Amino acid sequence: MKKRGLVAALATPLALFTASLIASEKLYNFAFKRVDYVPETSADKQKYADAYWAYVKWLKQQPVQDWTLNPDDQANRLVAKYVPAKAASHRTVIISHGYKGDGETMANYAYMFHNMGYNVLLPDDRGHGKSAGKYISFGWQDRRDYLEWINQVIKQNGPQTEIVLFGVSMGGATVEMMSGEDLPAQVKAIIADCGYTSIEEELAYLLKEQFHLPKYPFVPIVSFINRHRMGYFLSDVSSVEQLRHNKLPIFFIHGEKDIYVPSWMLKKNYRAAKGPKMMWQVPNATHAESFWIDPAAYEKHVSAFLSRYLPKL
């Protein structure tokens, strides 16, 4: 082969590799880098806007307490809003928000649990809201932060307190990932609404469905970038693996028409979960829409699940 031909032969794969690196870096920044605002909701959920803002208004009218973890460490400072129950209660729900949201975006769920007699803790995850963090960990680092929030609740409310973990979308995956940790005895149940199986599977699925791109080489390169930035590969971030170690009662909720976190992920998570478990696939609901379609029915299902494992207040 002549020298010019050899150079051309080498240049083509090198150019493709370079282009893949550049595209993967852009993808990583798009998906993992924090944003300091809450993006507008999808068009199909705009019809719930008035109801959503009414819940936010309610939250802002409550006697909210500001809680903090690692207050003197700016790189790891985390914040949460705590809403005491209407009457003194030994039960607290810790609510985990969705991707690029914050605690305030979960005001509707806070309202529901408040009406059920619970204290409510609404953390802002790393890389979200008023908490520190350059990047979004999709529940993996958050699961350890939530262990600290659990300890904070126990410290504030006493060892007799009973805790429920609840999350939606990324928050659903976060509480699923928490299920495999060594949780204190005060944690009594978990409710996960539309959580994904793993960030690797979720990213590969969205690449294909939304951008018509293959898993390879982009997901492995993004995983390598994350290992360098955050200290772990995407293959480490798995709800399925954590659920295999679960011992607590867990309730899975998922929209039947969810095309963002597809229903096969619900079934895979459900099959993996150990311990007592229930599943409710909500007809006609898209991603994270199950509550909004019928708030009363949603509360009824949640109450029915909890009443099986926690005696009535």
What count of other Cβ atoms lies within 10 Å of the Cβ of residue 76?
A: 15
Where in the chain are the domains? 42-198+237-309
CA 262/CA 148 separation, integer angstroms: 31
* CB-side neighbour CA atoms (13 Å) of 95: 26
Query: What is the pairing mode between strands 119-123 and 78-83?
Result: antiparallel
This prediction's pTM: 0.94
What are the structure tokens assigned to 35, written together?
């944003």
Give the model's pLDDT for residue 8: 46
Those residues whose C-beta lies under 8 Å from the C-beta of residue 292, and which sit 6 or more positions away, are 45, 48, 51, 108
Digit-coded pLDDT (tens) for 147-167? 999 999 999 999 999 999 999
Which is nearest to 232 in space by CA: 258, 264, 256, 200?
A: 200
Average pLDDT per consecutive 10 residues, the chain (313 residues; last block may be shorter): 48 71 94 93 90 98 98 96 97 98 98 98 98 97 98 97 98 98 98 98 95 92 96 97 98 97 98 98 97 98 96 69
Fold of 42-198+237-309: Rossmann fold (3.40.50)
Give the model's pLDDT for residue 3: 53
CA 32/CA 237 separation, integer angstroms: 14
Give the model's pLDDT for residue 7: 42
What SS3 state is found at 143?
helix
CA 62/CA 103 separation, integer angstroms: 14
Give the model's pLDDT for residue 12: 59
CA 258/CA 249 separation, integer angstroms: 24
- The H-assigned helical ranges of the chain are 3-32, 49-60, 107-115, 140-157, 170-178, 199-211, 218-230, 239-243, 263-272, 290-293, 295-309
CA 134/CA 142 separation, integer angstroms: 13
DSSP code string of 39-52: PPPPGGGGGGHHHH
Q: Is the peptide bond before 217 cis (omega within 30 degrees of 0)?
A: yes
Give the model's pLDDT for residue 5: 53
CA 118/CA 296 separation, integer angstroms: 17
